[in-house]
Structure 1
Amino acid sequence: MDIIGDNTNKFVYKTRVVFKIMDFEKQLDTNWIDIISIKSDKFIIGSDEWYCGVKLNGEKFGLFLYLSRSSELPIQTQYDIFIIYNNNKLFAKTKIDQTFDDILNGWGLSSFITKQLLIDNKDILLTDNTLTIGFDITVYKRNNCHQNCGAKCHRFAQLFGIEELADCRLIVGKDLKVIFVSKLILSLHSEVFEKMFTTDCIEKTTNEVVITDIDSNVFEQFLNYLYTGKCDKLDEMTEDLLYVANKYMVSSLKTICLNLIYLQINGRNALQTLKLFQDFGADKELMKKVSESIAENITSVVKQEFTKHYAIDGQNISQIVKHLGNQLIKPKTKLMFYTYK
């Protein structure tokens, strides 16, 4: 997922969601007189929860995007919906602009394509009896991270690091870099800093905080988020920023980092991701999704771990994977994420 901040005081989130419906040929053989609804698992974009849905109604095949949970409304979106076939070729791509102003309100196309068109092209559009649907989603959100201060975010950015306006200095990293900050701004976003500056801590009287366990470049990105709501290097510093956000109890940044890590999960890093999420206390829903991803990537996970720790040949690994696979229930739907520029 790409996250872009700009001087218009908006965040732009971009991601691709791929929704797979298994055994779809059975649906083509079913009478759609009664409306049939198929929903994806929920997924996170920014701080909001979404899901995709399919509606089969009469001779119509409909595709929709739903907002399930949001920290604020309205939310402006732009998304392309399409069917993916034959090595990522796109079929019937359609662009939609929509503002979501209500929870559980779905928008899309009730007649994306006809049932007959699906039947006529099922040999092309269905791979292993699976229909693959794609959503390229762009979400535009206002950056209200400092609305309670009554100031615009770009003004906070301009004030960041000005010694004359600071009442505290941070000494950060192995290079002992000095950064001038406002106690008020840090305390607004972090309970840790608030307690540090309001209780009988040495930092309250010295107006100085020494932080040696965090690289100064990482901490500057963290401060940039506190001041402006933006992280210019979020992609390359995700795990480091997760550590800082967790240490200083900045839940919004922690959530963004956890979800970015989840979107990059694969067979090579699935177990490490699960351990990371355990260490940083990811919520139950996100832990469930990581466990599901491990199950879906079980072949790569097993091969990766056995290759790393044991000298076992490929044939025996394949037998282990086959045995594990027989114990898994094949899901009716599958949800995947891809980043794109």
Structure 2
Amino acid sequence: MTLFNGLGMGLGNLSRLSKAKTRSISPENFTGEKGKGAMAEEGTGAHPARELGKGWKVSPSVEIQGESTHTMAEITGPGAIQHIWLTCHPNHWRTSIIRMYWDGETEPSVEVPLGDFFCNGWCERSDVNSLPVAVNPAGGMNCYWEMPFRKHCKITVENIAEENMILYYQVDYALTDVPDDAAYFHAQWNRSNPLPYKEVHTILDGIKGQGHYVGTYMAWQVNSNNWWGEGEVKFYMDGDDEYPTICGTGTEDYFGGAWNWEQPKGEYRTYSTPYLGMHQVIKPDGLYRAQQRFGMYRWHVMDPIRFEEELKVTIQALGWRSGHRYLPLQDDISSVAYWYQTEPHQPYEKLPDKNDLEVI
């Protein structure tokens, strides 16, 4: 994780003084202005605070109307987002879209369904114990990706459902100088449902500019029997054509596991570590849950994938068939790619509608 101007993301920098100004935006202080917190007289907590009044948790959250967008934070820079915490009902994790815009962009640099951004793409809570993303009981979602901006930052949440949603949130940031070599944070969602036979799932494509790839989250539904994780992750960069520069050895290998994640025999073993994990297994129940579903993340914090001009990332869906032969799979695969790069970035493909976003 990068450091600048005394902003520490490691214990080794905590003793260093800095002229950075710490600020925080929440429904108790929508602007983050100094000395303007806890002044609300109306809000979602007004009724329980009616005997206590101003300053007593009058506005801990917001209600976002159906098919509308709420601006969660708007900040004049230079500065950097250091931490985001939020929570809402899991029913909204695929029907709410978080977007982030840097320095006056009209096209977002981050555009991801809310749950997937925090490694919970199945609308069923799974704890995550990693450095840049932590999800804690019972649905507290935390992000520690450093997000510098030079002039302006805007973060929105769009509720694409017809029903209203309640969102609790806090955005912690610093107003500080940003060095010339600090890149902008990006994240993009993609889905193959189902993945066409003998095709690969594209995690990221069309990236132009200089930067480094820092993470992958995948929500994977297996639509066949037997082991499914033989597929390789491939990174095509800076002029690679048919063959990539970086090619992994298998799906569970990329996410830091081995041998089917099978421990003890006949069972998947979940794990969540600072940089990688297979933290979620949703099993069929013999009634309405028909397929196995998995959640996995891999953070390239210590080993970023650096590119100078362009980047494409893919993964094969590969299992086994008779005769000890590979079987190209036709699974339901969603992914989030996280990376830093120079601006401007190429516009993303439009997100699908809520039917194609839906967890089915």
TM-score, normalised with respect to structure 2: 0.24
Which one has a larger percent helix, Structure 1 or Structure 2?
Answer: 1
Q: Name whichever structure is richer in strand by fraction.
A: 2
TM (norm. structure 1) is: 0.25
